[in-house]
Amino acid sequence: MSLPFFDAIIIGAGAAGLFCAGQAGQRDLKVLLIDHADKVAEKIRISGGGRCNFTNRDLDPAAPHKHFVGQNPQFCRSALSRYTPADFIALVQKHGIPFHEKHKGQLFADRSAEDIIAMLLAECEAGGVTRWQPCSVKKIDFLASSASESCPGSYQIDTDRGPVSAGALVIATGGLSIPKIGATDFGYRLAQQFSIPLIERKPGLVPLTFDGAGWAPYAQLAGLALPVQISTGAKKTRMAFDEDLLFTHRGLSGPAVLQISSYWQEGTPLAINLAPTVDLPAALSQGKARSRKLVANELATLVPSRLADAWASREADWQRPINEASDKALARLAEQLARWELTPTGTEGYKKAEVTLGGVDTRVLSQQTMECKTQPGLYFIGEVVDVTGWLGGYNFQWAWASAHACAQALAATPP
């Protein structure tokens, strides 16, 4: 008995899988899209605080290393150049979805992330895509064909809705973050089944934690947010971000920390300038010349008062009127606020991470098509690949662009 046959089966109906399915279907391919979760595109639904930061106008496709992390950020250049933020914006406009720019080129849906999901589903509908959801994949086999070089074989997929087969298999099962809404290691396990190398996976865009008594004085600052400059690494490997930092009960979060977390190496320190726009030495010595306020109160005119109080309480020399504080003590205060060095003990892990660093090694994938060079007809797109974007819409743009490159390639492959 012959199995139901599709030109392409896509596993994972998240950002990359939905987009790829719609694009391939609209190129006249017979497409089946499978996802094990009850609800479609859960990550899009919770993204961008429910408004989905769907792309970023500042993305430079010719220089992907500026906004993407991985063993070889240049890998994404071809796909990003062939499907740009302007292309996705045009699609959003075609569907009449209102959107706005928030910060540093980040574009969000005005109403809700549901608008983006509805758009992707409409695109699938327009492409006549068959969707099976919830549906679990039990087993995948590749049957090599000796009949023709142009058709090297097919994939037989055993699912809980029965067996199916396809000429091409696209893995769009994403990364490991937020397991409670359906993230699994499916893509990595499948890569291993076909002896495809993986780059070590780690949580990215994730809050950092600080265990032990050393953190106790800062735990009282939980909830405080302020603009900082944060950096990690030295010389050539140094990365720095000017963004907001948020104190939490267990450590640090906020955009500054999420961004730096993708570059931070375990056991190494971070350096944080807590008042990057203030000339602290000058401001404190002017304060000393004209004021009799406590150091903490004078400092509170320069940084948030909760931070000023917590910081000044750390040394007896800072717990006096500023005009009585020694120049040395004030210089030390300025220096420590401008360069707070601290070593995180860990991260909040996949339950809080927005993305997974690492994944399918890009050296085995074609950067034009996303097809695996060692396994014909097998494609990896989206976050499962070792390509991780910065916070701010870059990860979705990678999902759209890699999906688009794959769909183009599927349509160009002879049946």
**Residue numbers at the binding site for ligand FAD (CB under 6 A):** 11-17, 34-37, 43, 46-48, 52-53, 137, 172-174, 177-178, 182-184, 186, 354-355, 382-384, 393-396, 399
Positive or negative, the CA dihedral 43, 408, 384, 200 is negative
SS3 225: strand
Question: Which is nearer to ligand FAD, 30 or 51 (by Cβ)?
Answer: 51
Distance between CA atoms of residues 228 and 275, nearest Å:
6
Question: Could you tell me the smallest distance in angstroms from the CB atom of residue 377 to ligand FAD?
Answer: 19
Question: Which is nearer to ligand FAD, 14 or 73 (by Cβ)?
Answer: 14
CB 13 within 8 A of CB 36: no
Question: Which is nearer to ligand FAD, 173 or 262 (by Cβ)?
Answer: 173
Question: Which is nearer to ligand FAD, 178 or 256 (by Cβ)?
Answer: 178
Question: Could you tell me the smallest distance in angstroms from the CB atom of residue 161 to ligand FAD?
Answer: 12
Please report the DSSP string for 150-177 in residue order: S--EEEEEEETTEEEEEEEEEE----SS
Distance between CA atoms of residues 70 and 263, nearest Å:
10
Question: Could you tell me the smallest distance in angstroms from the CB atom of residue 95 to ligand FAD?
Answer: 18
Question: Could you tell me the smallest distance in angstroms from the CB atom of residue 134 to ligand FAD?
Answer: 8
* H/E segment holding residue 34: strand 31-34
Question: Could you tell me the smallest distance in angstroms from the CB atom of residue 374 to ligand FAD?
Answer: 21
In the DSSP assignment, the letter for residue 30 is -
In the DSSP assignment, the letter for residue 103 is S
Question: Which is nearer to ligand FAD, 35 or 298 (by Cβ)?
Answer: 35
Backbone dihedral angles phi then psi of residue 61, each to the nearest 5 degrees: -60, -25
CB 346 within 8 A of CB 250: no
Question: Could you tell me the smallest distance in angstroms from the CB atom of residue 322 to ligand FAD?
Answer: 43
Distance between CA atoms of residues 278 and 86, nearest Å:
37
Question: Which is nearer to ligand FAD, 78 or 231 (by Cβ)?
Answer: 78
Question: Which is nearer to ligand FAD, 59 or 295 (by Cβ)?
Answer: 59
* H/E segment holding residue 82: helix 77-82
Question: Which is nearer to ligand FAD, 155 or 311 (by Cβ)?
Answer: 155
Question: Which is nearer to ligand FAD, 119 or 178 (by Cβ)?
Answer: 178
Please report the beta strands in 128-281, taking only residues with DSSP state E, as ranges in sequence order.
130-132, 137-144, 153-159, 162-171, 198-204, 208-209, 225-232, 239-247, 251-253, 270-273
Upper half-sphere CA count for residue 58 (Cβ side, 13 Å): 16
**Structure tokens given for 26:** 């609209």
Q: One-letter amino acid identity for 173? A: T
Positive or negative, the CA dihedral 47, 52, 53, 55 is positive
Residue carrying structure tokens 């499962």: 384
SS3 183: coil
Question: Could you tell me the smallest distance in angstroms from the CB atom of residue 399 to ligand FAD?
Answer: 4
Question: Which is nearer to ligand FAD, 127 or 382 (by Cβ)?
Answer: 382
Question: Could you tell me the smallest distance in angstroms from the CB atom of residue 352 to ligand FAD?
Answer: 8
CB 13 within 8 A of CB 33: yes
Residue nearest to ligand FAD (CB): 14
Question: Could you tell me the smallest distance in angstroms from the CB atom of residue 63 to ligand FAD?
Answer: 18
Question: Could you tell me the smallest distance in angstroms from the CB atom of residue 153 to ligand FAD?
Answer: 22
